[in-house]
Amino acid sequence: MTQTAVKVRGLAKRYGEVRAVDGIDLEIGTGEVFAILGPNGAGKSTTVEILEGYRQRDAGEVSVLGTDPGHPTRLWRSRVGIVLQTANDTAELTVRETIRHFAGYYPQARDPDALIEKVGLTDKADKRIRQLSGGQRRRVDVALGVVGNPEVLFLDEPTTGFDPEARRRFWVLIQDLAQEGTTIVLTTHYLDEAEALADRVAVITKGRVVAEGPPATLGGRAVAKAQVSWLEEGERKQLQTGTPTRTVVELTRRFDGEVPELTVTRPSLEDIYLDLIGSSSTEPDDHSPAASRSRDPR
Amino acid sequence: MSDTVSPPAAIAASPVIPHRLPSVAATGWSRGIAESKMFFREKDSVVFTFAFPIILLGIFGSIFGGTLEGGPITVSQLYTAGLIGAGVMSASFQNLGIGIAVDRDDGTLKRLAGTPLPRSAYFLGKILNVLLVALLQVAILLAIGVIAYDLTLPAEVSRWFTFTWVFLLGITGSALLGIAASSLPRSARSATAVISMPFVVLQFISGVFIPVTELPEWLINISSLFPLKWMCQGFRSVFLGDAGAAFELTGSYELDRVALVLAAWVAGGLVLCLTTFRWKSRRDG
């Protein structure tokens, strides 16, 4: 499919002096799973909240399913699903009551019981939401996000605070929804999450997109040079090369056998990401004196 | 809002027509049911709402036995009428003031804003819940008054007519005041204190606990600005009858002024709501 579900041009939003979003362009195709990566305060949530119609922008053009989210209509709302970052509402209703109730808001809702089954809460369906664990609560949030059969689903840091197993189960659920053709836009600061779920990734820092593309090729990852490192005359030598195998063969010949402390590495998504945000990140979270003392053992 | 609202006929239509949005009436009714379920399952808040006036009626009824200046009206009857006024205001003003502040804080309003639910349906649900709670409140207080304190229910239709309009105007004005006041608390945790404190003060100066005739004039001037004093006055006219009029400040229930002030609160409360209501919490900006 080549249709565009989300189109953003020159988006800008400032809070007082702070430029939270400073000229973002995005284009997300129908049926795509798109991840927005970035450190805390980079502008991810602001961007997504503008797309969701929660916040007004200062400048730029935005279109979600062909509608300007700055002027949401009920019909548009019925085509867009939102999974909130944190919510503690309907604590006294059961899972089934909550999902049935919200289904009544939409013109073409999913079958509540089938949806409960899909998010894996069938055995908790008659439990009050107050009694659920954090991970189960987020599954209810996802169910409420998709109960109206949305064409686009927004998830803002959906797995923050999950244990690894809950995160894996959550990924399967999202992949399942993507299989059905739902366009999914998620923010995350977990690289493995972006790599597991997303067709494409945009890295945002200081309100700008610094890189965009499939996780495998992000930031030139696929064509990045490998680093060959070894010990020679008591000194560590390093070489960036596009042909690491040839370098190793030459080294083997030169040392006539074993090369001391030989390593060959390629950049991981994390290396690429840290490289992308490292040069421009001036996060208060990451650079408070306490944080920088305890961090970075190198 | 420029929302498309489908005609009421759609409520009964069971097959889902593509892109036909559920009506305000249907979603509002469904919110009313959900709100009421949530309300009655929150045990501490149910106790707070219903037990408080009942306990007070018990205490005042026991302390101040007997009749007013040897007349035909018992003190318990006086308190029943006053506590019905306070009960209606607690069901509307206090419930909404705290409830909406909590909804704003716990993500309810944010989640609803992200769905096609019309905003009017949210308020319709709140109003249905308030009506249910207030009617229950009145029924319980009247039952206790009749059983324990010799309260005789009025037989005349005209007095029940007065009851109906005092109840409706009073509950609407107080509800609107509660919706406006819900924007004052900074968080759900502070909501109970911020909303209950002025309400308790208002009960003391509006003739709920202490007859208005015992109060200094400047306090009466303050309480006369708010709906509670007038609601209580209206309910006294219903439950104490003509014999009680002599114990009013002006020797009359002044029903025309009751109607005027309560109607003014409905109009003023509506303006206050429309100008001050916030869907987002202060944290959300």
- Cα separation, B87 vs B134, in Å, equals 7
What are the helix (H) ranges across chain B?
A: 24-41, 43-63, 75-89, 95-105, 108-113, 119-149, 157-181, 188-205, 217-223, 227-239, 255-276
- Beta strand spans in chain A (E): 4-15, 18-29, 33-37, 59-64, 80-83, 152-156, 183-188, 200-205, 208-213, 226-232, 235-241, 263-265
Q: Average model confidence (pLDDT) for chain A? A: 86
Residue A213 has pLDDT above 80, yes or no: yes
> Strand, helix or coil at B168?
helix
The span from the first CA to the last CA of chain A, in angstroms, equals 47
pLDDT of residue B16: 43
Among A54, A75, A77, the residue with its CB nearest the CB of B115 is A77
pLDDT of residue B282: 58
Beta-ladder partners of A240: A227
Is the CB of residue B118 less than 8 Å from the CB of residue B3?
yes
Does residue B284 belong to any structural domain of this protein? no
pLDDT of residue A65: 95
B38 touches chain A (CB under 8 A): yes
pLDDT of residue B14: 42
Of A111-115, A221-225, B115-119, least confident by mean pLDDT is A221-225
pLDDT of residue B80: 85
Does residue B165 belong to any structural domain of this protein? yes
Phi then psi dihedrals of residue B133, to 5 deg: -65, -45
pLDDT of residue B2: 44
Q: Which of A219, A173, A170, A210 is nearest to A190 (CA)?
A: A170
Does residue B115 belong to any structural domain of this protein? yes
- Tell me the angle at which helices B43-63 and B75-89 cross, rounded to the nearest 10 degrees: 160
Strands A263-265 and A226-232 turn out to be antiparallel
In sign, the C-alpha dihedral spanning A175, A176, A181, A186 is negative
Does residue B252 belong to any structural domain of this protein? yes
Query: pLDDT tens digits for chain B (285 residues)?
Result: 444 444 444 344 344 445 689 999 999 999 999 999 999 998 887 887 788 888 888 888 778 777 777 677 777 788 888 899 999 999 999 999 999 999 988 889 999 999 999 988 999 999 999 999 999 999 999 998 888 877 888 888 999 999 999 999 999 999 999 999 998 888 888 888 888 888 989 988 988 888 888 888 899 899 989 999 999 999 999 988 887 787 787 878 889 999 999 999 999 988 888 888 877 765 554
Interface test with A, best of B115, B187, B280, B281 (most A CBs within 10 A): B115
Interface test with A, best of B110, B189, B279 (most A CBs within 10 A): B110
- The distance of B157 to chain A (nearest Cα, Å) reads 40
Does residue B217 belong to any structural domain of this protein? yes
A144 touches chain B (CB under 8 A): yes
Domains: count for chain B: 1
pLDDT in tens, A32-47: 999 999 888 888 989 9
Does residue B7 belong to any structural domain of this protein? no
Does residue B98 belong to any structural domain of this protein? yes
- Cα separation, B205 vs B219, in Å, equals 6
Instruction: Tell me how far the alpha carbon of residue A206 is from its chain's centroid.
Output: 16
Q: Which chain B residue has the Cα nearest residue A82?
A: B114
Segment A194-216 shows an average pLDDT of 91
- Beta strand spans in A65-197 (E): 80-83, 152-156, 183-188
Extract the tokens encoding B15.
């097959």
- Cα separation, B187 vs B194, in Å, equals 10
> Strand, helix or coil at A94?
strand
Helix/strand/coil (H/E/C) assignment for every residue in A218-245: HHHCCCCCEEEEEEECCEEEEEEECCHH
Is the CB of residue A157 less than 8 Å from the CB of residue A187?
yes
Beta-ladder partners of A19: A14
pLDDT of residue B1: 43
Query: Domains, chain A, ranges and CATH?
Result: 1-79+151-219+268-283 (3.40.50.300), 89-149 (no CATH)
Phi then psi dihedrals of residue B2, to 5 deg: -95, 25
Q: Which residues of A touch B38 (CB under 8 A)?
A: 90-93
Q: Do B21 and A53 touch (CB under 8 A)?
A: no
Among B17, B21, B37, the residue with its CB nearest the CB of A74 is B21
Does residue B10 belong to any structural domain of this protein? no
- Full strand arrangement of the beta sheet holding A226-232: A235-241, A226-232, A263-265
Global pTM reads: 0.81
Q: Which domain holds residue B179?
A: 22-278
Residue A285 has pLDDT above 80, yes or no: no
Compare A233 and B283 and report the one with higher pLDDT: A233
Q: Which residues of B touch A15 (CB under 8 A)?
A: 285
